[in-house]
Amino acid sequence: RFLYMKNLLKKLTALTLAVVAVVSFAGCGMQTATVPNENKVKVSEFKGDSGVQKILKELLSKKYISEDNANNCVKTNAELIGAKEGYRVDKVEVNGSSFSLEVYQYEDTDSDTAKNVIDSVKKNGTFDLFGRTVSYCYMSDNGKYLLIYPDPKSTTGKEDDSTNAKRKDDVVKVVNSAK
């Protein structure tokens, strides 16, 4: 009886932790209805002059993300994909598309999680998370930054969507310019 209760308690604890991880995860297209206040950040208040914070400040300065969106940025649980730091900007709008842009910074790429995500993005432009495939992913040339840019119009090749394709290319250039 004691062993049964002990095993049941272990299973319930594991299940609870898994549910908390999924529900609290804000990023990679897995948005929740509410974001904890401690995860809300303003790009204009970033102190960093390097890395992912500098990328987002540059995207704001070039008006690739709006001031309103940049003031409602979300710090994601980057460690779930093996990254050091990550942010999501919601409601990015380009030529009729509306999507959430995400940028992640990798430092220690020795972890299995980081290796798996980076290798998959380099090979397929996607990675899997919680049984879902995250698409429209781009690794920076130096392998330190992951951009998730899920604007389906940016890859159609249609003339009407050329604005979207150019914007994606411009955002990728900003990410690639980061050291």
């001031």: which residue's tokens?
67
Distance CA 144, CA 103 (A): 11
Query: ∠ CA(147), CA(89), CA(64), 5° rounding?
Result: 75
User: Are the C-beta atoms of residues 128 and 114 closer than 8 Å to each other?
Assistant: no
| Residue-level pLDDT at 110 | 81
Give the pLDDT confidence score for residue 4 in this predicted structure.
Answer: 64
Looking at residue 109, its pLDDT comes to: 75
In the DSSP assignment, the letter for residue 109 is T
The CA-to-CA distance between both ends of the chain, in Å, stands at 58
Counting runs of H as helices and runs of E as strands, what totals does the chain give? Answer: 5, 8
Q: How far is CA 147 from CA 13, 21, 123, 136, in A?
A: 34, 22, 15, 8
Residues of the chain with pLDDT under 50: 17-27, 29-33
- pLDDT for residue 18: 46
Instruction: For Cα atoms 76, 77, 83, give the angle at the middle one, nearest 5 degrees.
Output: 100
